[in-house]
Amino acid sequence: MTSARPAPPIHATLADAATAQLHEAILVGEFEGGAALRLTDLATSMGMSMMPVREAIRRLEALGLVEVIPHKGAWVRELTIEDAHDTHDMRMLLEITAIERAAARFTEEDADRARAYLERNVRALELGDQAAARQAHTDYHFAMYAAAQSRWLLRALEPVWQNGERYRFAGTRSPGARERILREHEAILAACVAHDPAAAAAALREHITNAHARVIEKMTKQNDGGRPPG
**pTM of the model as a whole:** 0.80
Checking if the pLDDT of 141 tops 90, the result is yes
DSSP state of 65: S
Residue 194 reports pLDDT greater than 50:
yes
Q: State the pLDDT confidence band at 11, using cuts at 50, 70 and 90.
A: low
Q: How far apart are CA 211 and CA 60, in angstroms?
A: 23
Report the C-alpha gap between 1 and 17 in whole angstroms.
32
Residue 8, pLDDT > 80, answer no
Share of the chain above pLDDT 90, in %: 66
> What does pLDDT average to over the chain?
88
pLDDT score of 166: 86
Q: What is the pLDDT of residue 116?
A: 98
At residue 69, what are phi and psi to the nearest 5 degrees? -115, 120
